[in-house]
Structure formats: C-alpha cells, structure tokens
Amino acid sequence: MLYEPDPNLVVYFQNRFVPLGEAKLSILTHALHYGTGVFEGIRAYWNSSERELYLVRPGDHFARWRANCGLLFIDLGATADELTQLTIDLIQRNRFETDLYIRPIAYRSAARIGIHPDDRYDFALIAIPYEGYMDSARGVRAAVSSWRRVEDTAIPGRGKICGAYVNSVLAGEEVRRNGYDEAIFLTESGHVAEGASCNIFAVRHGKLITPPPSDNILEGITRECVIDLARRELNVEVQQRSIDRSELYQADEVFFTGTAVEVAPVVEIDHRPVGHGRVGRLTEELRRLYLDATHGRLIHYSHWLTHVYKPVRGGAPA
C-alpha cells in the first residue's frame, strides 16, 4: 500500500527540488482536464545487509518514458542517464532507507480551457516509501471485466498516457465492488490483454504464455524480466501469443507482473479456481527469483540494478 505522503517530502518539480507541500498546479492545467500526461513507475529496493538501495532498470524505464512522451509531443529535454541521476539525487535528499516507488510524470502544463495543446509542458519526480500494491502472498482473486481494453487505434495502451487509465479505473472498480482483487481486460476481439494495472501470464502444459504487444498490452519491463528469468534460470519455454478467456479457466497457474505488483499469483478467476486453487510452483519460483534479483542477491542480474548510496559512500556506481 502507498502511505500518505509527508508534505515535507522532497520532490522534483518545475526544475527544482521543493517540499511536496509547495508543489502546486493550477486547476486549469491542461493535463488535469484532458488527461494529457505520461507517467512511469520505477521501484527501488532496500537491502539492509548491504545498507544499499537498488533502483531497478531505471535507464530502461526512463527510455520508455521518453519514447511515450513523444506520443504527446512532449520533449523532456533530458537523457535517460540524466533522469536516473536526478532520481538518485532526489532519493539521497530524502535519505530513504526503505523500499520505494518512484513516479515520474510529464504533463501539458498550459493553464487554460481548450482541448488543443500548446508547447507548454513540464515534468516532476516523486519517490515515496512503498509497502506493495496488493497482499498477494496467498494469491489474489481476479475477474474478467465487462470493460474492454482500450485499443491502440484510440489511445495506445503501451504509452502509459494518464487519460487512458480511466479504462483501468472503471475495470478495477467494477471487479472490486464485486468482491475481487484485480480486473482482467479482454481486447475488442475477445483475447486476454492484461490486468487493470499489470501484465498477465498463464502456465499450461509446462509452458509459460503471455499476450503479445499486438494485443494492446503495456510492454512491461517486469514482464521482460520474468521472461528472462523463466528462460535462463528455469529453462521454461515462453510463448508470446493471443490467449482466449477460456484458456485462463483451464490454466495450471496464472500470475500478474508489474513494477507495483511484482509477481502476484492468481488463485481464482470468475469463481473458478486456478489449477488447485493455490499458488503454483512455477509462479512461486519466479516470484522468489525476481525478488532475489531486484534485491541484489543474484549477481548475474546486477546489470538490472543501479546503486543509490554506493557512490556517496566511496564506491563506484554499479
């Protein structure tokens, strides 16, 4: 769960570091009225034995953010490396020694009514302590939403565009009001796309299956990590192909992946148990491997991690 942020938390806003309580926007801001913002999500994990915070693949996240901003003709004016260093500076100013969620957001900043944007935009960075998106240790209950995944020809799902997430809010609220933990989207053609805020995988006959980018999914970085771990560490075949709804009901295992959810087992879908109705073996192994890799316990994946405090303490950045 996200905590209630301290107004004295230092954030990066309008090209400077300021307390959160001073970071204010006009109620006429274009992004507020028309959803013309692009966000990103990055995790940092605290390793208490090493006294170090590890940013997970910040360069890849910022490269994706920059590309997605281009969909709205927003030029961040900074490279992925510069944005990574800015994030390190932000964390150090707050002296965090806990797991974090970092939220970069770029937005059309003109303060006026009118759908046509001008060339005014800005971006902000916020880092906050994070305890997890959902309690998924024993598995979560999911339901297929009646709302369909937004089409790439309408608002590109891969773009993490703020306005598109009304789609996720509608689906998430629907299933939670019906007693479930997370929604599953179908595409307009009826194929499985993803969760309301995460990618989805199914295990069938020993193979790991996940929808392809052409089924309107977010091209998730955690999704990519899990595919790599499955192939390299567990020698599991991974297929990226369209998935029918009924395949989820017949899957041996199902799980979600994402920056916020990490690897979250699904034990029930639409009142039907997934497999034996408990966390599956492959899901549990991938969950453990992902957490070990992101906490700096697997040397082979150290290239995923950027040290936050090591440069200050006299070492070289990873």
The count of C-alpha atoms lying within 13 angstroms of the C-alpha of 314, restricted to the half-sphere facing its C-beta, is 0
Catalytic residue among 24, 160, 207, 310: 160
Whether the CB-CB separation of 308 and 58 falls below 8 Å is answered with no
Rounded CA-CA distance 216/149 in Å is 7
> Which CATH number is 40's domain given?
3.30.470.10
Q: Are residues 83 and 169 in the same domain?
A: no
Could you read off the pLDDT of 241-297 as tens digits, one per residue? 999 999 999 999 999 999 999 999 999 999 999 999 999 999 999 999 999 999 999
> Which CATH number is 275's domain given?
3.20.10.10
pLDDT band at 116 (very low <50, low <70, confident <90, very high): confident
Catalytic residue list contains 160: yes
Whether the CB-CB separation of 20 and 82 falls below 8 Å is answered with no
Structural domain span for residue 108: 10-129
Helices (runs of H) and strands (runs of E) counted in the chain: 7, 17
| Residue 304 in domain | no
pTM: 0.94
Q: Are residues 78 and 147 in the same domain?
A: no
Number of domains the chain is built from: 2
CA neighbor of 173 nearest in space, from 183, 162, 163, 188: 183
Residue 123 has pLDDT above 80, yes or no: yes
The count of C-alpha atoms lying within 13 angstroms of the C-alpha of 294, restricted to the half-sphere facing its C-beta, is 27
Residue 316 has pLDDT above 80, yes or no: no
CA neighbor of 159 nearest in space, from 36, 33, 12: 36
Whether the CB-CB separation of 197 and 217 falls below 8 Å is answered with no
